[in-house]
Amino acid sequence: MDLAGLDTALLGGAVGGLAMAALLPLLSLVVPGPPTPLRHTLPRALGVLACLAAAALGARGLAGGSGASIECWPGFPGQPFTLGPDALAAPFLLLFGLVGAASIAITRDAREGAGGRTRLALHAGFAAMLFVVFATRHALLFLFAWEGMTLLSALLVAADPRSARARTAAFTYLALSHLGAACIALALFTLSAHASSFRFDALAQSYAALPAADAVRLAWLFTFGFAVKLGLVPLHIWLPLAHPEAPAPVSALLSGVMVKAGLYGLLRFVWQMPGAPPEHWGTVMLVLGIASALVGALYAVVESDAKRLLAWSTIKHAGLLAVGAGLAAQLAAAGQPVVAGIALAATLYHAIGHGLAKSLAFLAVGEAVHAAGTRSLEHMGGLARRLPRTGLAALIATLALCALPPLSCFAGEWLLFQALILGYSAGAGQLRLLAPFAAAGLALASALAVAAMVKLHGIGFLGRARSEGAATALEPPRDVTTVLLAASVLPLAWGLAAPWSVAALGLPLSALLPGFDVHTLQGLRGLTLQPALLQANSISPLAAAVLVALFALIAALWLRGGTGLRALRRSPSWSGGAPLEARMQYSALGFTKPLRLIFEPVLRGERELEVLEEGSPYFARRVRFRTSMPALLERLLFAPIVQSVLWVSEQARRLQTGSLHLYLAYLLATLVALLLWGR
Amino acid sequence: MMLDVALVIFQSLALVALAPLWGGVVAALKARMQMRRGAPITQRYRDLLKLTGKETVLSEDASPLARVAPYLVLGAAVAICTWTPVITTHAGLGFAGDLMMTVALFAAMRVLLALLALEAGTPFGGMAASRHLALSALAEPALMLSVFTLALVAHSTDLAAISRAVASSHDAWISPSHLLAATAMGLVVISETGRLPVDNPTTHLELTMIHEGLMLDVSGRHLAALEWAASVRQLLLLTLLANLFLPWGIALEPTPGALLFAFAIWLAKLGVFAVAVALLESVTARMRLFRVPEFLGMAFLLSLLALTSDSLLR
């Protein structure tokens, strides 16, 4: 059977389908007509099918597909634009396809008038750009898609034009992203000027031919540019602003997939370049990764906006990815390719595991937010009972994001920890110093993330409804919950099948580390994850899950037997004799008060208490209480930069006096200067 | 093969069946030290039996999770038992889980308990869950660094492998790093099992309790499952302390004599722990909640020192 044709068909179908899904809603804006079901179903269906084709393409790539490619001539000099995913792109395409399909399938935009149709067009266009970023092998097309991805998602972030918060978010996002994109563009153009070609393989050759100092400079440019997308501290400040402002299905793509485009860029343009990554790159990534993990987890704990909490948690997981990549680079440099392979396998596995879990979290929480009419955890509550299916999906996502076995984030963290232990024993210089701190930092970050996720689900979904909106929330329609439940299977399956999932990443891993055999990570015919270097330590999420389920079942049957299968009784909660009110529950703010107090020296929370009406000397009748977490990094690091930019532009304005004579003098001066310079 | 299966079943059964006994022994010892008569050591079993016969009442606000979580917590505790070396370092179900899987399953139990506490929408549940998560967040780094130190010595994170490595070397246990890590682990165990001076296991004042507060809104067979899981978890942590840090007497080869001896030694170690805990709980008062971070900070510092001395002295 000829599968090359299949690959090409999948590739073409994915691009074409996404393009159609983006253009059809626009067309229906232009061509007036009655809103037929076809009009809003067709673009969505096309988008979902195209995403599934992309996922299939990714899966084929992981299985060693034939490497289909499509070329098209853009009409200006240079090589034709090439779309042809290779082994490294395959896992990212798989992730993109699965998340993208769920994200487009769940969106309600198509039914909501002209604004909704525009949003659907932007949504599908954004997905198409993401696909091209992963699929292209042409630097110019990569840059176009990279930029398109940023611009279209910024439009979606600013989708609500009345919200000042959304405008600020979109502006910060655009400013930082363009700084990053400028670095990437500079580096790519430098390389392609040397290579006189835009093809990735030619770029790698010209990188090898560069003088060492220049090559190192380019590698750092790439690192800066992609670290912005990955959301590493201190370039993360846009992420918790922008990700939550977009509609939830788009947030799922942003946090689940686009952040991984940063990792993809780092791996492709820093790791895969000959002779790269440069010295100290691993150390820098490791340190930034731990910092990001801690900052993300800590701010997730103190956040009470449900979607922003998830965005902070994305920073934590992006930190883990950076730790994995940095660790792998250090180990590879120290001549430990096998251990480096473990770290890299952890990185790739976790990139997908986190992508699946985080997008599910955004989709489910987004539905809950929609139903309750608020994003604040303080006004949610009781939703797991009112929206059982959405609640179940949210529960699976939160448990997965706590890195609990057997879900999708656990095995990645386990592999990372194994690599840390092995790296420490291998005793590579700085790693000996850093590994213990990395282990402790990751442990603290994981424990904090657990607190944050328990807060998200426990305060947002359990207990009593904390507002009118939450008390009257309705389960979303059947097709939406079906998508949610289907998407909840993914993190579960990726985690349960961890040894096989890691083995499936063999091709991209050996593309990154030639000679690395992923099967050294498997034991017992694939049932367990077992790095060959260590003695007998293995885990099997599947076996552990079976054991837990088995014993839970036995316990349930046995304990129920004692009461003769008597059904349980429901009764109102008892609260010390007083009638229970929703306000008596722990609030999201109160829930993390102990952690906030313990980390007060770092967080520097601000609170303000004003007594409005004195009842008696001891009890105020009405108070106004306000508390906030200042954005310390913005204040300490970015504010001075913004100030100095403003100062410079203030000075530059003096040149523009409005006097024609002065402008003519500028012309003359420039002319003379050019003549002198060109002499 | 048959022997392996028998050993797994025996070790798991021993842990699960004897778990309530240990708590009973500590309570009885404490009563003696405080010149009280106290309850018999089998009191915990009677409590469990009584609970299973009682009606199970669930809050009207509870979600479906509340009906599954108690059994999942107990299931997770028992699953850990299947790969914990109790009397022998012979493999067991070690392929399924290692030290990190154990730590992660403990975390899973913690998460489920905290969610369960928030189900009923009462203030006490929230209070307990909030404190529980804060304290365990601080205990986690110390625990991980102790694990790290152990894994370095044994070149593995497998429980049986660590136990074997420490037991079969003559001087591994006397190294400063091992002793420091053991002390750190001891402090973490005190905090995680909710004993004095971190938490008072016998308190009935809602404002001061953490571990008991998590289960305030649970009743009947659900409470029985949770109580049992808590005692299994406690015994597991003590067994880990005994068999990973002080594994003398554990059977390296499964011969009948060695196994019997190991069983006796294990019981003796647990007895020593019980006396130590009873003594400690009789002479110390509970710490103020916001002093506990210092206590756990000390554990973290000790485990960091353990790792540093390991890399300096090797």
Residue B121 confidence class, pLDDT cut points 50, 70, 90: confident
- Residue pair A177/A258 in contact by the 8 Å Cβ criterion: no
DSSP state of B291: G
Write A555-562 long-range contacts (CB < 8 A, 24+). Answer: A555/B71, A555/B74, A555/B75, A555/B78, A555/B225, A556/B71, A556/B225, A559/B52, A559/B71, A559/B221, A559/B224, A559/B225, A560/B221, A562/B52, A562/B53, A562/B221
Question: Across the interface, do B141 and A440 touch by the CB < 8 Å criterion?
Answer: yes
Asked if A403 is an interface residue toward chain B (Cβ–Cβ < 8 A), one would say: yes
Write A636-640 long-range contacts (CB < 8 A, 24+). Answer: A637/A234, A638/A237
- A458 vs B93, B97, B115: nearest CB: B115
Q: Per-residue pLDDT tens for A323-356? A: 999 999 988 888 888 888 999 999 999 999 999 9
Q: What is the mean pLDDT of residues B74-95?
A: 87
Beta partners for residue A138, in sequence order: A199
Q: Which two tokens stand for residue A224?
A: 């800066």
How many Å lie between the alpha carbon of A549 and the closest alpha carbon of chain B?
7
Chain B 216-255, CB below 8 Å of chain A: which residues?
217, 220-221, 224-225
Question: Across the interface, do B95 and A454 touch by the CB < 8 Å criterion?
Answer: no
Burial-class residue A664 by CB neighbours within 10 Å (0-12, 13-18, 19+).
exposed
Q: Per-residue pLDDT tens for A388-447? A: 999 999 999 999 999 998 899 999 999 999 898 888 887 667 788 888 888 889 999 999
pLDDT at B91: 63
Asked if B97 is an interface residue toward chain A (Cβ–Cβ < 8 A), one would say: yes
- A interface mutation test: which of B95, B198, B244 has the most A CBs within 10 A? B95
Highest-scoring range by mean pLDDT, A454-458, B37-41, B252-256: A454-458
Write B262-268 long-range contacts (CB < 8 A, 24+). Answer: B262/B87, B262/B88, B263/B14, B263/B87, B266/B86, B266/B87, B266/B239, B266/B242
- B interface mutation test: which of A559, A581, A583 has the most B CBs within 10 A? A559
Number of cross-chain residue pairs from A and B with Cβ atoms under 8 Å apart: 290
The count of residues in chain A is 679
- Distance (Å, rounded) from C-alpha B210 to C-alpha B117? 11
What count of other Cβ atoms lies within 10 Å of the Cβ of residue A569?
Answer: 11
Residue B3 confidence class, pLDDT cut points 50, 70, 90: confident
Is the pLDDT confidence value at B101 over 60?
A: yes
- Distance (Å, rounded) from C-alpha B40 to C-alpha A287? 55
Question: Across the interface, do A432 and B311 touch by the CB < 8 Å criterion?
Answer: yes
Question: Across the interface, do A559 and B71 touch by the CB < 8 Å criterion?
Answer: yes
Is the pLDDT confidence value at A205 over 80?
A: yes
Is the pLDDT confidence value at A363 over 80?
A: yes
What one-character-per-residue DSSP string does A526-581 give? GTEE--TTSSS--B-HHHHHHHHHHHHHHHHHHHHHHTTTPPPEEEPPP-TTSPP-
pLDDT at A34: 67
- In angstroms and rounded to an integer, the radius of gyration of the C-alpha atoms of chain B is 19
A534-554 b/e with 16+ CB inside 10 Å = b?
bebbbbbbbbbbebbbebbee
What count of other Cβ atoms lies within 10 Å of the Cβ of residue A334?
Answer: 18
Is the pLDDT confidence value at A457 over 70?
A: yes
Residues B256, B259, B265, B271, CA torsion sign: negative
| Token pair 């800590």 in the structure block, residue | A298
Q: Per-residue pLDDT tens for B156-203? A: 888 888 888 888 887 767 788 888 989 999 999 888 887 877 777 776
Q: How far apart are the first and last CA of chain A?
A: 68
User: 3-state DSSP call for residue A376?
Assistant: strand
Question: Across the interface, do B141 and A584 touch by the CB < 8 Å criterion?
Answer: no
pLDDT at A621: 82
DSSP state of B59: E
pLDDT at A7: 85
Chain A 511-570, CB below 8 Å of chain B: which residues?
523-524, 527-528, 530, 534-540, 543-544, 547-556, 559-560, 562-563, 566, 568-570
Question: Across the interface, do A563 and B133 touch by the CB < 8 Å criterion?
Answer: no
Residue B314 confidence class, pLDDT cut points 50, 70, 90: low
Residue B265 confidence class, pLDDT cut points 50, 70, 90: very high
Mean pLDDT for chain A overall: 88
Of the listed ranges A297-311, A317-331, B199-213, the least confidently predicted one is B199-213
Asked if B143 is an interface residue toward chain A (Cβ–Cβ < 8 A), one would say: yes
Instruction: Considering only residues A548 and A613, tell me which one the structure prediction assigns the higher pLDDT.
Output: A548
Asked if A457 is an interface residue toward chain B (Cβ–Cβ < 8 A), one would say: yes
Q: Which two tokens stand for residue B241?
A: 């302390």
Burial-class residue A439 by CB neighbours within 10 Å (0-12, 13-18, 19+).
buried
- Residue pair B276/B26 in contact by the 8 Å Cβ criterion: no
Of the listed ranges A545-549, A657-661, B48-52, the least confidently predicted one is A657-661
Q: What is the mean pLDDT of residues A10-27?
A: 88
What one-character-per-residue DSSP string does A294-348 give? HHHHHHHHH--BHHHHHHHHHHHHHHHHHHHHHHHHHHHHTT-HHHHHHHHHHHH
- Distance (Å, rounded) from C-alpha A246 to C-alpha A248? 6
Is the pLDDT confidence value at A97 over 90?
A: yes
Q: What is the mean pLDDT of residues B103-116?
A: 93
Instruction: Considering only residues A642 and A275, tell me which one the structure prediction assigns the higher pLDDT.
Output: A642
Asked if A589 is an interface residue toward chain B (Cβ–Cβ < 8 A), one would say: no
- B61 vs A382, A447, A594: nearest CB: A382
How many Å lie between the alpha carbon of B197 and the closest alpha carbon of chain A?
18
Name every chain B residue with its beta carbon within 8 A of the beta carbon of A591: 126, 129-130
Is the pLDDT confidence value at A24 over 70?
A: yes
Residue A564 confidence class, pLDDT cut points 50, 70, 90: low
User: 3-state DSSP call for residue A350?
Assistant: helix
pLDDT at B207: 65
- Distance (Å, rounded) from C-alpha B243 to C-alpha B240? 5
Of the listed ranges A148-157, A310-319, A381-390, A510-519, the least confidently predicted one is A510-519
- The helix (run of H) or strand (run of E) holding residue A613 is strand A606-614
High-pLDDT (> 70) share of chain B, %: 96
- B152 vs A391, A424, A591: nearest CB: A424
What CA–CA distances, in Å, run from A446 to A99, A256, A293, A490, B139?
A: 24, 19, 8, 22, 12
Backbone angles phi, psi at A463, to 5 degrees: 75, -150
- Distance (Å, rounded) from C-alpha B21 to C-alpha B26? 9
The count of residues in chain B is 314
Question: Across the interface, do B123 and A575 touch by the CB < 8 Å criterion?
Answer: yes
Q: What is the mean pLDDT of residues A561-579?
A: 74
Q: Per-residue pLDDT tens for B46-69? A: 999 998 888 888 888 888 899 999
Asked if B296 is an interface residue toward chain A (Cβ–Cβ < 8 A), one would say: no
pLDDT at A185: 95
- A573 vs B59, B71, B308: nearest CB: B59
How many Å lie between the alpha carbon of B272 and the closest alpha carbon of chain A?
30
Backbone angles phi, psi at A82, to 5 degrees: -120, 130
Name every chain A residue with its beta carbon within 8 A of the beta carbon of B300: 440
- Distance (Å, rounded) from C-alpha B28 to C-alpha A270? 64
Question: Across the interface, do B119 and A453 touch by the CB < 8 Å criterion?
Answer: no
- A463 vs B54, B101, B119: nearest CB: B119
- Closest-CA residue of chain B to A551: B75
Q: Per-residue pLDDT tens for A395-411? A: 999 999 999 988 999 99
Q: Per-residue pLDDT tens for A583-601? A: 888 888 889 888 888 888 8
- B76 vs A523, A548, A559: nearest CB: A548
- Residue pair B87/B259 in contact by the 8 Å Cβ criterion: yes
ipTM entry: 0.94
What CA–CA distances, in Å, run from B218 to A43, A215, A587?
A: 50, 63, 21
Single-letter residue type at A579: P
Instruction: Considering only residues A566 and A303, tell me which one the structure prediction assigns the higher pLDDT.
Output: A303
Chain A 415-444, CB below 8 Å of chain B: which residues?
417-418, 420-421, 424-425, 432, 436, 439-444
Question: Across the interface, do A443 and B140 touch by the CB < 8 Å criterion?
Answer: yes
Q: Per-residue pLDDT tens for A32-50? A: 666 677 777 888 899 999 9
Domain extent at residue B268: 2-312
- Distance (Å, rounded) from C-alpha B50 to C-alpha A559? 11
Give the closest residue to B16 by CA, choosing from A406, A539, A555, A553: A555
Q: Per-residue pLDDT tens for B18-40? A: 999 999 999 999 999 989 888 89
Q: What is the pTM of this model?
A: 0.93
pLDDT at A429: 72
- Residue pair B20/B101 in contact by the 8 Å Cβ criterion: no
- B307 vs A436, A442, A461: nearest CB: A436
Name every chain B residue with its beta carbon within 8 A of the beta carbon of A588: none
How many folded domains does chain B comprise?
Answer: 1
Instruction: Considering only residues A117 and B105, tell me which one the structure prediction assigns the higher pLDDT.
Output: B105
- Closest-CA residue of chain B to A522: B95
- Distance (Å, rounded) from C-alpha A101 to C-alpha A97? 6
CB-based contacts of A548, cutoff 8 Å, min separation 6: B72, B75, B76, B79, B105
Is the pLDDT confidence value at A563 over 60?
A: no
What one-character-per-residue DSSP string does A30-67 give? HS-----HHHHHHHHHHHHHHHHHHHHHHHHHHTT---
Name every chain A residue with its beta carbon within 8 A of the beta carbon of B224: 559
- A interface mutation test: which of B157, B177, B227, B295 has the most A CBs within 10 A? B157
- Residue pair A129/A91 in contact by the 8 Å Cβ criterion: no
